[in-house]
Amino acid sequence: MIERKTMGRASPILLILLAIGFSFATYNLLTTIIHYRSAGKLVDDYSGGIFLSDPIVEMPKNVRRPKNSKSLFHVALTATDAPYSKWQCRIMYYWYKKRKHMPGSEMGGFTRILHSGKPDNLMDEIPTVIVDPLPAGLDRFGLGIIITESSNHTFLRGKGYIVLNRPWAFVQWLEKATIEEDYVLMAEPDHIFVNPLPNLAHGEFPAAFPFFYITPAQHGKIIRKFYPEEYGPVTNVDPIGNSPVIIKTVLLEKIAPTWMNISLRMKDDPETDKAFGWVLEMYAYAVASALHGVQHILRKDFMLQPPWDLDTANKFIIHYTYGCDYNLKGELTYGKFGEWRFDKRSYLRGPPPKNLSLPPPGVPESVVTLVKMVNEATANIPNWETQ
Ligand SMILES: *[C@@H]1O[C@H](CO)[C@@H](O)[C@H](O)[C@H]1NC(C)=O
Ligand SMILES: *[C@@H]1O[C@H](CO)[C@@H](O)[C@H](O)[C@H]1NC(C)=O
């Protein structure tokens, strides 16, 4: 349920005052939130875009689980009904099913959170929950402020922004779904489970992949607008996005509404919007979780990103967001079309054909494995070419 009210007639100054008032209200609320951080600093300081040491952290003994008790996580995949999203989801789900029952996996159920507001033709193939997209076309209200409501939360929002559908999708899903697992993995359509994924989280400590381009410490001034000093140093904000993250379901239920709000406030702040651009909602998740006192275990082995990461051994998810371009000698020609290439953006309008050609000799194992896994999925998914 979404309810929209525009306050088109109120003066801009009144609206700004209102916004400031609301912000204070948010922070007063947040100060009463229980802080989960108790085991001190989990990660080495991140400074200047360089990890000073390996960020994979030894966990305090008391949060380690006994070896043979499984701790399942639910796989939650946010997606749209665009052909580009659909073929990636089908491959993603294929590999989930294959890896789920393998030794070492702690994968539980699977949900595609479809934030297009209506069913598509994959409803029978992939377990799906439909949620609403953000109301579209909000830009035309100019400075007007719109209240978006879910059953439990009210959000102040400004300009429409398509990527912000993600936090909004999670807020709605968490409200309407009954999730059996104690943990949730937030996943993306261009993720492929290359190895069975264990639950990398430990108790109250979620696990996340550190992105080199998320650098809160280098954006101290901006982060401070949303992460006030009394919460602690800017380095409490982890260099992560919301995905991939494995987190306790109850923690995500607390963080998601804040994530939504911070995303909207960041989007409404021109300086922040300009600085963060397309990674704005990643920063918003990092800040929102820090506001709740949640710190993530940073796992570089959570994910690998061809063509930069060369092998898949002991890693869990292939993220195929970068184009892979090689000449026939097997040399990377990144940024220039290769004589051999695999790039998901070549298939914006529909699925890649079956049986893509394998890369020439000399291309890293990660890229070869990626193409083989895509080929295996497309060979086995019924009616691959129909969309
Ligand atoms: C979001 O922020 C607005 C204004 O800052 C506030 O009124 C609202 O309660 C907040 N909602 C949540 C879920 O934090
Ligand atoms: C896939 O393509 C290769 C050539 O690139 C061909 O040799 C092979 O027979 C094809 N396999 C299938 C199952 O079509």
Lowest mean pLDDT among 139-143, 273-277, 314-318: 139-143
CATH of 73-135+160-302, one of 2.10.70, 1.10.510, 3.90.550, 3.10.560: 3.90.550
Interval between CA 193 and ligand 1 midpoint (Å) = 36
How many residues does the structure list for the chain?
A: 387
Q: Please report, as a single letter, which amino acid is at residue 342.
A: F
Q: What angle do CA 6, 10, 16 make, to 5 degrees?
A: 95
Interval between CA 325 and ligand 2 midpoint (Å) = 21
Interval between CA 76 and ligand 2 midpoint (Å) = 34
pLDDT of residue 72: 98
Both structure tokens of 73: 């996580």
The residue to mutate among 340, 342, 354, 355, having the most atoms of ligand 2 within 8 angstroms of its beta carbon, is: 355
Please state, rounded to an integer, the average pLDDT across all residues of the chain. 82
Residue 152 CB–ligand 2 contact under 6 Å? no
Better-scored residue on pLDDT, 162 or 150: 150
Asked if 159 contacts 273 with a C-beta cutoff of 8 angstroms, the reply is: no
pLDDT at 25 over 60: no
Asked if 170 contacts 259 with a C-beta cutoff of 8 angstroms, the reply is: yes
Q: Please tell me the number of the ligand nearest to residue 375's CA.
A: 2
pLDDT at 21 over 50: no
User: Which residue has 């959570």 as its token pair?
Assistant: 302
Please write the tens of the pLDDT for every residue from 329-366.
999 998 899 999 999 999 999 999 999 999 999 999 99
Q: Please tell me the number of the ligand nearest to residue 30's CA.
A: 1
What does the pLDDT average to over 258-266? Answer: 91
The residue to mutate among 27, 147, 261, 269, having the most atoms of ligand 1 within 8 angstroms of its beta carbon, is: 261
Asked if 376 contacts 98 with a C-beta cutoff of 8 angstroms, the reply is: no
Positive or negative CA dihedral for 232, 238, 239, 243?
A: negative
* Cα–Cα distance for residue pair 98/196, rounded to 1 Å: 9
Angle at which helices 12-31 and 249-268 cross, to 10° = 150
Residue 355 CB–ligand 2 contact under 6 Å? yes
Both structure tokens of 14: 């009144």
Residue 236 CB–ligand 1 contact under 6 Å? no
Please write the tens of the pLDDT for every residue from 154-190.
665 555 445 578 999 999 999 999 999 999 999 999 9
Lowest mean pLDDT among 52-66, 107-121, 210-224, 269-283: 52-66
Contacts of 177 (CB under 8 A, 6+ apart): 111, 129
Both structure tokens of 105: 């996996």
pLDDT of residue 52: 31
Interval between CA 350 and ligand 2 midpoint (Å) = 21
155 phi/psi in degrees, rounded to 5: -125, 140
pLDDT of residue 3: 40
* Cα–Cα distance for residue pair 40/329, rounded to 1 Å: 50
Asked if 194 contacts 317 with a C-beta cutoff of 8 angstroms, the reply is: yes
* Cα–Cα distance for residue pair 319/81, rounded to 1 Å: 20
Which ligand 2 atom sits nearest the alpha carbon of residue 358? Answer: 5
Please write the tens of the pLDDT for every residue from 297-307.
999 999 999 99
* Cα–Cα distance for residue pair 371/358, rounded to 1 Å: 7
pLDDT at 22 over 80: no
Better-scored residue on pLDDT, 37 or 208: 208
Q: Please report, as a single letter, which amino acid is at residue 233.
A: P
Interval between CA 355 and ligand 2 midpoint (Å) = 6
Residue 4's pLDDT band (boundaries 50, 70, 90)?
A: very low
DSSP-assigned letters across all residues of 255-274: HHHHHHHHHHHHHHSHHHHH
Please write the tens of the pLDDT for every residue from 92-140.
999 999 999 999 999 999 999 999 999 999 999 999 999 988 765 443 3
The residue to mutate among 154, 264, 267, 268, having the most atoms of ligand 1 within 8 angstroms of its beta carbon, is: 154
Residue 33's pLDDT band (boundaries 50, 70, 90)?
A: very low
Residue 23 CB–ligand 1 contact under 6 Å? yes
User: Which residue has 């948010």 as its token pair?
Assistant: 26
- Residue identifier of the C-alpha nearest atom 10 of ligand 2: 355
Residue 357 CB–ligand 2 contact under 6 Å? yes
Residue 380 CB–ligand 2 contact under 6 Å? no
Lowest mean pLDDT among 7-11, 29-33, 78-82, 214-218: 29-33
- Residue identifier of the C-alpha nearest atom 4 of ligand 1: 22
Residue 314's pLDDT band (boundaries 50, 70, 90)?
A: very high
Tell me, yes or no, if the pTM score tops 0.85: no
| Domain spans of the chain, in order of start | 73-135+160-302, 304-380
Looking at residue 58, the DSSP 8-state letter turns out to be P
Please write the tens of the pLDDT for every residue from 37-89.
322 333 322 222 223 333 444 454 445 555 568 899 999 999 999 999 999 99
What does the pLDDT average to over 304-313? Answer: 97
Contacts 24+ apart (CB under 8 A), 270-278: 271/222, 272/222, 272/225, 272/226, 275/219, 275/222, 276/219, 276/222, 278/163
> What is the three-class DSSP state of 78?
strand
Residue 267's pLDDT band (boundaries 50, 70, 90)?
A: confident
What does the pLDDT average to over 192-220? Answer: 97
